[in-house]
Structure formats: C-alpha cells, structure tokens
Structure 1
Amino acid sequence: MVITTSHGGRLPLAAGAPGLALALLIALPVPASAVDWLAVPSLRLRESYTDNALLAPPGQAQSDFITEIAPAIGLIGTGPRLQVHLDATWRQFRYQHRPASDRQELQASANAELLKDWFHLDSAASISEHSISPFGAQVINGLPPPQNASTVRTVTISPYLRHRFSSLGTAELRYTRNAVSSGGGLLSMHSDEVQLLLNGAPRGAGWSWNASYDARRTQDSKLAPQRTERSSVGLRYPFNSRWSATASAGQEKEGYADSSSSGKDPQGRFWSLGGVWTPSPRTSVAFSTGRRFFGKTYSLDAAFRQRHASWSAQYSEDITTMPAQFLRLGNQDAASLLDQLWTGLVPDARERRLRIDAFLLYAGGLGSQGAINYFSHRYFLQKQLTLSMARATPKSTLVFGLNAVDRTAQTNSGINSGLLPDLDFGSEERTRQVGSNLGWTWQASPRNSVSANAGYSTIRSLSVPRRDNNFTLTSAVSRTIKPKMTASIELRHTQHSSTRGGAFRENGVSATLTMQF
C-alpha cells in the first residue's frame, strides 16, 4: 500500500546508524505547518543467471544462479518548512555455488526550517558499494562484489542560521559535520567546518556583493589533523538585462603538506574574473578564469532548457579528496534535468521524485557521479568536465551523460599502502578517465515498456603505462501485471579489458517481479 499522510509534528522513522542524522532531523518538532508524506514500501524478487559470477578471465569463468530478495522503502515528505527524501533497500543474495550475502543501499536527505527566517537544518546519509581502485573489475549491479570493492557509508549534518537584513543583505552562519567510513576500516574520515557567508544588493545600485570565511578541520585515520582556511570577497555588476561581470579575490591555506621537497602547506592569494550571460529565462551561461596557488583556473556552468529537452555543462578545477567526492549525492544533474522535464507529465512532486529515482536506478551512473570514485587518503587536483542531456515526451525518456576527469595527486602515495597490498598506487599519481552513459525508456502501451542502457568508461594512468576499459549494455522489457505489480526480463553484457591483463566478459539474464504495498 502507498501510505499518504498529512502531518504537522513528528514522524517516527526507523533507520540504521548511517541514517541517524536524517532520523534525528525528521524527529525534530517541525512547526505546525502541514507536511504531506508519501511512503511506498516495495519488494523485489529476482532470479538471475550469469556465465561469469566472479568476473574471472577467459578459461576461469564460473556460472551461477542468483536469487535476490530486496525489500525497500521510498519516502517523500513535502511541506513549506520541511523536505525529506529517502530511498532505502536491503538486498539479500542466495547463490548456487557460494555462500549467501546481503547488501544495504541508502540515499537520504532532509532540509528543515526550524525557526522561521532564522534557524535551519540540513542532513544527508548514504550507503553504497564503491571500487577500492579505479583499475581492475568494477562493481556490477546484481553480482557478488569483486575483491576490488567495499561498502562506503556517509553522514552529513549541518545546522545553520540564516536571516535577511533589509539594509545589509543576507547573512548565514553554518556548521557542518561530515563523516565517511568503509568496511574493514580502509577509509575513516570526519570533518568539522564553520562557514560565514554574507550577500548584499544595495537598493537601486543594480550590483551585488558577497563575502565569505571558511575554516575546516579534517581528521583522517591515516593522517595528522589538518586545517583549511579560505576567505574571499566577490562582486557582480550587470551591464544590461543579459550580461553581467563577476570578480572575486581572497586568501586560502590548505592543511596538507604537498609532495614536493619543500613539504610546505600550499597557500596563497587567489582571484577570478568572469561573466554571466542570460539571454532568456531558459538559458544561462556563467564562466570565469583566474589563478590559485596551483596555477591558472577556469570554470563553466551552462544550462539550456527546451520544451522537451534540457542540457547542462559544467567545468571546474579544485583541490579535493576521495572522501569529499563520496559525500556528493549521486545523479544530481540528471535528476534535476528530469524534474524540470517531467513537471508537466507528472504534476505531483512526490510521485515525480519516485519516478525519477526508479529511472535513474536502472540507468545507473548518469550525471556528475559518472566518474569512478575510488579509495585514497591523498589530496588531488581535480579537473572535471560534465555534460548532461535529458529528453522527455509522454511516451519516452532519454538521458545522456558524459564525464571527463583528470586527477593529479598532491601528496605522497605511501599513505595508501594499507588499502590493498597488491595494488600499484603509483598508477594513481595522475589519472585521466572518460565515461559516458545513455539511458532510454519507451512506454509502448499503458502496461508495457522497453528500456535500454549503455555505459562505457576508460581510465588511463599518466604516470605508469596502464589503461583499463569497461563496457556494459543492458536491455529490459517490463509489463504491469496489475496495479502495483510489475514483471520484467533483462539481458546484460559486460566487458573489461586492460593493458595489465585481467580482461573478462560476462553475460547475464534475469527475471524480476516488483510489488508495491
């Protein structure tokens, strides 16, 4: 059954440790304005056959039958001062030739305004499988996780004060606590961050300004505590209704010691100059160039929306870590594009969010998270280009994502030696990966649909001679047997190749029955 309620106070929710922050947020005494809840419990039963269960090289492949039992719940809460989204699944696997296993999956977020125009609280949690190394066999949905994989849990909780002062502008003071951990203790990181943000737009002047200060303390299980500080001021000046100029400058200090012989903490002044072009309400392009302590920088954020299609492009350069990448919620770009396009097709926001979740679960890996995020305690200079496109009509949906990422290590590789003894961490000194996904679904009739997904990625080490390629192709036919019960048959082909050996192929077929209650 689909549970729909209107609630003005507390909604109890059972959650595991990674979802504790979200559960606490939901349990807070949200003001009495009505909150509409939509809870959709479901059960997925799947029987699969694979000709290479362990992703072994040719001549060593072993087939297996896999039975999957996966109870799940989708929860959407919408109100003027509370937004909640939760998608949780417990997957149990039974194999014919190896021990049983289980896996938890969670994507959850919540935003609450606890004191009108003053006190807010954001929270998020996730559980997902990730690759330990970007090279070798990667995680494949429905198969036993390879040796090169482990479960990653993330939690974020962020209370903040925000208020608009009529004469000054908007002021925000935010505290953020992040935590990332993995099975076997391979990754364990937490950080505490304080941010002060000021924004203003003097009346009648036509221009706006901003200022910020950010201080973060990070504790990694393999590193000494590190402190990062950044302060900046910015200005935006409109020339006309379409063009605006932007400028910013500031000072930053990173908390890590670089891998050069000096071993000093990177720091210095930075600046940027750019512009914003908005020729119509449906089109915007923001771009900038500048300089930071590691060299010249460039950025781009463009969006274009048509009646049945939306496009977006982003380019960024920044110092980051793998735990920081794990904290980003997946598929944000693709979900945002689909939400814009499906507003007319699915007017109810809660139903639309559940439909988007179901589509992206099948399409897999689209949007900004198309890059392979792997385990590392190192700091990286990351240059990332993302292109996303979504096209939706009453009968079909097409989503395309292209992601290119260049990562250059800023710290020494020795701190990664405890992850896996046989990994060549020198191959991660500098990596370049390009990945693309194409997901399509067609509603052939009110009860029948056809879906297909193709994904390709290549990752190359620029420090040692190694290149790995991954390709996956899936197709499925689904039929609604009766309301809230769907049956589907899916075919899958997976292929992996590498200049270091370990190539494999895998083919699978599965039959799935999904029931909502």
Structure 2
Amino acid sequence: MVIMISLARRGATGGCGLMLLMLPAIAAPADWSVTPTVRLRESYTDNMNLAPDGQARGQFVTELAPGVLVSTTGPRLQAALSYTLQKVAYTRQADRTSQQLDAHGHAEVLPDWLFVDARAGITQRNVSAFGPQLVDPAISNSNTSTVRAQAFSPYLRHHFRGLATALLRYDYQHVGSGGLLDVRSRAATLQLTGDNAGRGWNWDLRLRRSEIDDAALAPVTMSDASLTLSHPINNSLAGFGTIGYEKQDYHSLSAQPQGKYGTLGAVWTPSPRTRLSASLGRRYFGKTYGLEASYRLRSMYWTLAYSEDITTTHGEFLSIPPAGLSDFLFELWATRIPDPQLRLKTIQVFLAISQMMGAEGNVNFFSHRYYLQKQGRLSGVYSTPRSALAVHLASTGRTGQTTNAIDSVLLGPDQLSLTDRTRQTSLQAGWNWRMSARGNLTVGASHSRAKSLTTGREDRNSAVTVGLTRQLSARISASADLRHVRHTSNAGGNYRENGVGASFIVAF
C-alpha cells in the first residue's frame, strides 16, 4: 500500500490515486500480493538510431529497472498494478529515465448498487505508422512518444426482478503525450435492459452523452439514443434489431455527423464452444457491417471479428483489447504451470514476443482527427502439453472525416495528406516450447504493411525474435533474446537492426 501511495505522490499517474480511493469503501477482507522486483538487462544493438545502411552505429545498453507488482482478488475488489521505473545507460549518448505502468481495478462499494472501475497506463507508442517503428523501448527513435492514459468510471447498477437491469454510469478519461496529445472526455450513460428470463421478446434502451475536450480543437459533444429488440427463434438462433438517433458536432468533411440509424442481425450459438454474431445496418456515413465469431476446443481457440465505426486516436488508446487468447491460455496452462504468477508472466512473455497483444500489429497513429475505421482481425492459438502456437491477422482501414490541417504539428505541412486514407495489414505468429519445468523458448515473427491511399507511400516492417527464459529459483529468473528487424519504404529510409540481450529479474 505504501508503494502505491508513493507512486501517486511522485506523479507517475493520477490513475493510481484513483484506484486508492476505492479501497476504504471495501469492508470485506481481501488478500493482497505486493512483490517488489528489480530487473538488470544488458543488450547490444547494431543500429541504435534505426538509420539507413551505411549510417548505422552499434551501441551497448544497460538497464536497471526497479518495479512492483500489486494484486488482489476479493469478493468486492479486484485490482492489479505493474509499475517499472527504467534507468537506461548508453555508451555513446546521454542516459535517460522512463516509466511503464499497467494498472486496473474494479470495486463493489455498495453490494448490488454502486461500483467503480479504474485504469491507468504509461507506455511507449509509435507516433506514425510510417517511418521507424518501435522495436525496443531502450532504442532511440524519433517516431515514438510516451502515452499516459487514465480512466475512472463510477456507476450505479441494480437488477429489478421481472422488470429490468438499470445502469447509470459516469466516465472520465484522459490521454496525454507531451505536446502531441492532450484529450479529456466526460460521458454519462443510462441503460435499461429488460428482464424476461429468456422468454419471448427482450429490449435494451441506451442513452449516452459525451463531451470531448482536445487541447488542439474546439470541444465536441456527442449524443446517442438507441433501442434494441431481440427475440429467440429457436434454442440456438436469435434475431435482433436496433434503431437510434445520433448527433455529433465535429466539423465533418462530408455528411453531417448526425441522423437516424438502424441495424439488423442474428446470433447463432449451436454449442457452448461456438458462437457467431452478424449484423448489417446504415448510419449517416453509409452501410455498416459487423461480425463476431469464436470457436473453442480443449486445446484450440479461434476468434474472428469485423467492425466499422467512427474513432479517434485517444479512443483507441483507451479501448479494451480482446482478452480471449490470454484467458484461454491461463486456464489451459493451469496444470502445466501451477503457480498463477509464473503462469501469467510466461503468457505475457509469449504474447509480447509473438506481438499477439490484440491488434497491435497495426499502429494507432497520433492524430487529432476523427476517422471512419474499418477493422478486421483473425486470432487463434493451438496448445499441446509442451508447446503453443499463436497466429494473428489484422487489417485496418481509416478514412479521415475532418480536415487534415489540425495535424500540422504532428505531420508537418508537407505531409498533411499522408493519413487522409490509410490501409494497414499485419500477420504475426508465435511459438512457445516448454523445454522443462523451469525453461521456455519462444519464437515470434511478424510482417506488417502501412499504405497511404492518397499519397501512395508504402512502408513494410518485418521482425523475427527469439526468447529464452529460465526460472533459476523461486525468486530469480533469467532470460536471453535475439531479434532481427527490417524496414523498407518507397519514400526512402530503409534500415536493418539486429539486437541481443540478457537480463536477470529478482522478486523480493
């Protein structure tokens, strides 16, 4: 607890303080796990600045990173925090300090009435989908920036038996990145979901109003009201329809961002292992399509999704990524790795090396604009008692809905049309082999393409990584990794980078 308070006082993030506010209201006891850690890493890269061939310079890098892991799972409180203060020393340039944070919590303050959710994060992100891409947080890269994000959401929820479940939620969100991004949003949502106990028609009424304050723009207000009706056709098939009205007052380049909308769809659940949901509709910007599918066996899990919506950079930073693959592996590897903390750590390393964290193969590039985003992804994992194979295919298309002039600070006046229409595709794969009860080998490969449909610029990035981890004792682990990265572009700036590193982690 003292560690969490000190982080909040240091200003690492306001989200830690928000999580602390939940704790006094929790009367039920909960078991807390607080684990201080220290990571020491030594690495070498032959292209520190990701420069073109002939200009690359090698450099050794030393990292000392103290951190803390905090978690609790109780009947009324679930929280987890992972914080690292990273001190990086270089042989040919000035040292620097950075932070990494991933914190989230959920509290039930009043049983069956008042709840609180909170999230906070500090991460390194790519500013643009074009140019050098983030390879290692320790490597110098002019195309990266530190993003700090916080979200705080108290809400009232109560089930009125035989009538409906009522939800009244307030959301506060903030995303900042130095002078590049500074966006705050506030939203209120009222939702009523009918209770028919699975018999006949059911309904869902939703009202939402949000205010977005971007430091680079005039404030934007969004309002949305919708009614959804659903009806079971048989034991495995149900149909649904939505009608609504939305109004947004950002300055659009095409259709006025307001009007009536409607959606028709169906959900097919032939077995507890298989689910398919499909929909089609129309909004003010045209026809829309949606698809969600999942298929699960004892040792295999697949998900397929497609969506179309208006989005923003800060909205994507705060979106919750799909957790299906990590949840599946956590359950599946329960006998393979009985220690839950070690199991979670192994899964995180596996997903990070194979770059399988949601749709991260495609860059959520910095922008103050509103975009029509069409995104599809296919993810799957196949596991045996000693190995696991994961694949991820993603495609993201964005079309600007507002003027590109507001991004002049981010792109420069000669690059404003670069992100008017973009298409990104990525393919990633990872393989993990459990060599012994204490050792794991992970191999990852990825290839991505970012294309500007307005200027014709096309950048490609490929990477191969190999990681070896070994649990030396209950509190000490060691790892070694290799990587090879290539970047090509028809606008120039091609480069290659090779890196090798070794690290020790001590948990106290």
Task: Name the TM tier (shorter chain).
Answer: over 0.9
What residue in structure 1 maps to residue 463 of structure 2? 472
1:90 paired with 2:81, answer no
Mapping for residues 231-246 of structure 1, pairs under 5 Å: 231-246=225-240
Mapping for residues 150-169 of structure 1, pairs under 5 Å: 150-169=145-164
CA–CA distance in 2 between the matches of 1:104 and 1:71?
10
Contact residue 486 and residue 496 of structure 2 kept, 8 A: yes
1:249 paired with 2:252, answer no
What residue in structure 2 maps to residue 258 of structure 1? 252
Match of 1:198 among 192, 195, 203: 192
Mapping for residues 387-402 of structure 1, pairs under 5 Å: 387-402=378-393
**SS of the counterpart of 1:370?**
coil
Match of 1:130 among 120, 125, 128: 125
User: Identity of paired residues, percent?
Assistant: 40
What residue in structure 2 maps to residue 486 of structure 1? 477
CA–CA distance in 2 between the matches of 1:20 and 1:171?
30
Match of 1:219 among 205, 210, 213: 213
1:509/1:349 Cα in 2 relative to 1: closer, same or farther (>3 Å)? Answer: closer
Report the residue type matching 1:440 in the other structure.
W
Q: CA RMSD in A?
A: 2.1
Report Cα offsets for 1:267-309 as digits up to 9, x if no partner. Answer: 1101011100111111111110011111110101111111011
Match of 2:307 among 305, 316, 333: 316
Contact residue 124 and residue 137 of structure 2 kept, 8 A: no
Contact residue 45 and residue 514 of structure 1 kept, 8 A: yes
What residue in structure 1 maps to residue 183 of structure 2? 189
CA–CA distance in 2 between the matches of 1:121 and 1:346?
32
Aligned length: 505
What residue in structure 1 maps to residue 276 of structure 2? 285
Contact residue 11 and residue 26 of structure 1 kept, 8 A: no
1:133/1:397 Cα in 2 relative to 1: closer, same or farther (>3 Å)? Answer: same
Match of 1:403 among 367, 374, 394: 394
**1:422 offset after TM fit, Å?**
6.8
Report Cα offsets for 1:164-190 as digits up to 9, x if no partner. Answer: 00131100000000101002x111000
What residue in structure 2 maps to residue 356 of structure 1? 347
Contact residue 76 and residue 350 of structure 1 kept, 8 A: no
Report Cα offsets for 1:191-226 as digits up to 9, x if no partner. Answer: 110000110132573332101001000000111111
1:137/1:99 Cα in 2 relative to 1: closer, same or farther (>3 Å)? Answer: same
Match of 2:453 among 462, 485, 488: 462
**1:361 offset after TM fit, Å?**
3.6
Match of 2:134 among 132, 139, 142: 139
1:172/1:353 Cα in 2 relative to 1: closer, same or farther (>3 Å)? Answer: farther
Match of 1:15 among 7, 31, 46: 7
Q: Out of 57-66 and 362-371, give the one that drifted further.
A: 362-371
Contact residue 333 and residue 368 of structure 1 kept, 8 A: no
Unaligned runs of 5+ in 1: 1-6
**SS of the counterpart of 1:369?**
coil
CA–CA distance in 2 between the matches of 1:203 and 1:447?
49
Contact residue 331 and residue 369 of structure 1 kept, 8 A: no
CA–CA distance in 1 between the matches of 2:3 and 2:98?
26
1:77/1:363 Cα in 2 relative to 1: closer, same or farther (>3 Å)? Answer: farther
Contact residue 310 and residue 341 of structure 1 kept, 8 A: no
**1:345 offset after TM fit, Å?**
4.3
Unaligned runs of 5+ in 2: none
CA–CA distance in 2 between the matches of 1:274 and 1:349?
39
**SS of the counterpart of 2:455?**
coil
1:24/1:83 Cα in 2 relative to 1: closer, same or farther (>3 Å)? Answer: same
**1:11 offset after TM fit, Å?**
9.6
Q: Out of 193-202 and 116-125, give the one that drifted further.
A: 193-202
CA–CA distance in 1 between the matches of 2:377 and 2:198?
37
Match of 2:113 among 113, 118, 135: 118
Contact residue 154 and residue 327 of structure 1 kept, 8 A: yes
Mapping for residues 425-440 of structure 1, pairs under 5 Å: 425-440=416-431
**SS of the counterpart of 1:367?**
coil
Q: TM-score, normalization: structure 2?
A: 0.94
**SS of the counterpart of 2:24?**
coil
**1:18 offset after TM fit, Å?**
5.4
CA–CA distance in 2 between the matches of 1:301 and 1:19?
35
**SS of the counterpart of 2:212?**
strand
